[in-house]
Structure 1
Amino acid sequence: MALKRVVVTGLGALTPIGNNIQEYWEALISGKSGAAPITYYDTEKHKTKFACEVKNFNIEDYIDRKEARRMDKFAQYAIAASEEAINDAGITESNVNKHRVGVIWGAGIGGLETFQEEVISYAKGDGTPRFNPFFIPKMIADIAPAHISMRNGFMGPNYTTVSACASSANALIDAFNYIRLGMCDVIISGGSEAAVTIAGMGGFNSMQALSTRNESPETASRPFDATRDGFVLGEGAGALVLEEYEHAKARGAKIYCEIGGGGMSSDAYHLTAPHPEGIGVIAVMQNCLNDAGMKPTDIDHINTHGTSTPLGDVAELKAISAVFGDHAKTLNINSTKSMTGHLLGAAGAIEAIASILAIKYGVVPPTINHEVVDENIDPSLNLTLNKAQKRDVKVAMSNTFGFGGHNACVLFKKLDD
C-alpha cells in the first residue's frame, strides 16, 4: 500500500524558558538559560540545588482547582501544551472525525511527585495504609493522554510510550506510523515530565548524572564544553498535532512542515552509559535516513541529544561524523538542552518543536555556555556555539536517547508540494 504523507499542523510548549510557543522560540534564539535555584523544596542537604523549573505556571488558567488536584504536575503540563497545539491547529468539532483522532504521549517517569508525597505521608503515619484515592490515577504514566482525550473527546488510539528520555520521540514516531498507514487522520503527540522533586533530584544525583555547578546554575548546562559535569534536570511539556496531508489540506490547515521519517535502535550495552563508539546512535540515524529515503547530504541541521555529560556528548558527535562523513562539517549542530535543561520524557517533543521552528524561521538556536574546547571533539564541526545562526534549513533531524540504550530519531522537512 502507498504510505500517506504526514505533516505538522499545530504546536504547543510549556518549558523552563517559555510557557508558549512564541516565548519558547524567542528565548531559544536569544540564548536564554532556564536554570536557577530550585524553589519547590529546601535544597540545603542536596548536592545539586538548581534545575530548570517551569515558571509562572497556573493550571487554573486551564482547568478548575478541584480537577487540577486530581492530576500530577506532569499531566497538568500535558493539558497546557496540548491545548495550545490543538488551538494552533484549528481542530474543532466540525472539521475532524473524533473516532480518527488519537493521542500518543511520552513520559519517562510519570507522576513522581505524587508517588513521593504519598510515600512520605505513609511513612509519617501509624502504619495504616491510608492513601489518596487518586494516588494511582495521578501517578500512572498513561494518564496524561487519557486526560487530553477525555477533555477533547478524541476516541482514536490513546497510550503513553515509556523509553526514558526517548519517550516523546518514540511517541512521535508511533503517531507518524499510525497516520501514514491510514489508521488515523490526526494524532496529538508529544510528552511531559515533572521530575524536579526530592526523589528525582536525589536519584539522579546518586547516579552522578547531574551537574553540581551550584555557584552558577545558568551556565551549568554546557554541552560539548570541556568543563561539563552532568546534565541539568528540566520539566515541562511539548505537544505537536500530526495530521495526514490531504486531511490537513481539505480543512485549510496551516502546515509547519512534513515528517520525513523516524528511526529507532538500541545500544544493547549499559543501563545508563552510551556505547563509547556510538554504535546505537549510528544505527538510529541511518535507520531514520533510510525510512525517509534520504542521503546524509540532504540534512542541514541536527538538534542533538547533547545532555552535557562527559561521555554522551562525545559519543554522539563521533556517531554524527561516522554517519555524515565530510558533510558533518557543513551541518548546523546544536543542543537546546543548554537552555532548557533535560526534560527527560518531554525532551524529544520540545526539541522536535525547536527543529521545526528552525525550518520555519531559518534560524538555528545556539548551544550556549561553551567556553573551553574539548580536545576529544572534532573542531571542524559547527556546534552553533553561543549565538544563533541564520540558515535556510530544509531538513532537520532531532536525536533523543534514553537510559537503557533506547535511541529515537525524527526527521522534519520543508513541505514539498
Structure 2
Amino acid sequence: MHDIKWIRDNPEAFDAALAKRGAEPQSASLIALDEKRRSVIQTLQDMQSRRNTASKEIGAAMAQKNAELAEKLKAEVADIKDSMPKLEEEDRQVTSQLNDALSRIPNIPLDDVPVGKDENDNVVTRVVGQKPGWNHEAKEHFEIGEALGYMDFDRAAKLSGSRFTVLTSQIARLERALGQFMIDLHTREHGYTEVSSPLMVRAETLYGTGNLPKFEEDLFKTTDGRYLIPTAEVTLTNLVGGEILDQEKLPLRFTALTPSFRSEAGSAGRDTRGMLRQHQFWKCELVSITDAESSIAEHERMTACAEEVLKRLGLHFRTMTLCTGDMGFGARKTYDLEVWLPGQNTYREISSCSVCGDFQARRMDARYRGKGDKATKFVHTLNGSGTAVGRCLIAVLENYLNDDGSVTIPDVLLPYMGGLTRIEKAA
C-alpha cells in the first residue's frame, strides 16, 4: 500500500516510478479521491463542532428563558444530526474507494533497478559454478523420474487432475531430504527461526501481503471463505501484523517448510509436462522483518542464504536482477536465482528474493519504535525462497544423472538418505 500523503507531495515522482513498471499515471485520480475524502471529513468536523456549539447555546438560551431561540437552535441540531449519517456513509465509501485504488497499484522500484519490459531485460548479476562436464545425453526430469519408476503423472492425474505429481520410494525420499537440508541450513547456520504455521488463511491475511484483492484468481478458496496459502510468505510476514515491535529486536528472521498451492491462472500451455509448474509444491520460505535502515543490506544477506543452498548442492546457477517490468507486485527490488537444467538446456528460476520496503507493512499496520522514541515507523519486509523444493529436485535429477540412468545423491544430502548414495531403477 502506498502513502497517499507522499503521493500528494510527490505526484510527478510517483507517476514516473509507475511508468518504469509500465503502469499508467495514477496520482491525479488518487489525489482527487483524497481531496474528496478530506472535504467530507472537514465538513463532518465542522458540523460536529457546530452541533457542540449549538448545544451549549441551547442551554444558554433556556437559562435566559429565550424559548424561541432555544427551539431554533434545537431544530438546527436536529438537522445536523439527520445530515451526519449520510456524510459518514459518504466518507466510508470514498475512503473505501481510495484504499481499493491504492491496494491495486504495484510497489515502486528502487532507483538501481534496471528499467525494462519483461524477462528479456533482466540483468545477470553473477554466475556461480560450471555446467556439468559429462558426455552422455542430457534428459529432462520427467524422463529420468519415469524411467527410474518413481515419478507418476498418470496416477496423479487420476487422483487430482493436471499439474500434480506422485513421487514414490527413492525420489520421494530425495524430495524430503532436500526440504530437510534447506530448513536445517537456514535455522542452524543462517539464524532463521523455524515456524510451523497454518496452510489456510483469512482474506485479511492475504490482503496484508498484497495477494488480495488483485490476484484472487491465482488462489484456491475453501467453502468457508478461507484460502490455501500460495506461499508461506503470507503467514510468516503477517506474524507481525497489527503489532508495534521494539527496534532493538529487529531484524526478525522466519523460515518455514510448507506446501504451497497455486491455481496457475493464466499459465495454460506453459510447462505442461513434468513438475516445473504445479498446483501443489513444497517450498522453504525465508522472511525478514527489519527497520527502514537495514532492509537493503538484509536483501543481500537473504539472497546469499538462498544461494548457499545451491552452492552446497553443487548446482550451476546465475543470479539475476529483475527489471522493473518483471518484478512482482509488492517488490521494490528482486533477485532471481536461475538454476541450470541440462535437460532443457536452459536456466530456470528456483528462487526469488525481494525487498518490499514498507509496502506490505502499511497493509498489515506493522510498526516499530526506537528506544526512547514516541513516534512509530512502518517495518520493512523481505521474502525469498530458500529454495523451491520441487524445482531443486528437478535440478538434482538432471545435473546428477549418470550414463546408466541412475542419479548420484549430492554429498550434502547423504545424511538424510539413510545410506542411499544413488537412485537406481526400481526392480
Q: TM-score, normalised by structure 1?
A: 0.28
The structure with more radius of gyration:
2
Higher-RCO chain (CA-CA 8 Å, sequence separation at least 6): 1
Q: TM-score, normalised by structure 2?
A: 0.28
